[in-house]
């Protein structure tokens, strides 16, 4: 289990392949809310469940799935 207290606003979120997924807006319960202003967001807030987080290190959140998998799975509500 990841220590969610180490997740901060504006941290980059990257896939297991190192690709950019988004930027943290804030933690919303058991989900990360990504900023809608990130170039990858298409003007929408996206959500990623915290079960998708592999680690929080080096100032970024690394997921346990690839960038493409994360984008396939993210929710907009």
Domains, the chain, with CATH or none: 4-76 (2.30.30.240)
C-alpha dihedral sign at 24, 7, 64, 16? positive
pLDDT tens string 6-65: 999 999 999 999 999 999 999 999 999 999 999 989 999 999 999 999 999 999 999 999
| pTM of the predicted model as reported, rounded to 2 decimal places | 0.92
pLDDT band, very low/low/confident/very high, at 76 (cuts 50, 70, 90): confident
Describe the chain by its helix, strand, coil percentages, rounded to 5: 15, 40, 45
Residue linked to tokens 């959500």: 47
Q: Which helix (H) or strand (E) holds 41?
A: none
């Amino acid at each position: 289990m990841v220590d969610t207290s180490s997740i901060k606003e504006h941290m980059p979120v990257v896939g297991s392949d190192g690709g950019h997924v988004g930027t943290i807006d804030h933690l919303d319960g058991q989900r990360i809310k990504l900023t809608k202003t990130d170039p990858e967001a298409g003007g929408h807030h996206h959500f990623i469940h915290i079960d998708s987080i592999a680690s929080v290190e080096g100032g970024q959140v690394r997921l346990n799935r690839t960038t493409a998998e994360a984008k396939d799975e993210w929710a907009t509500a």
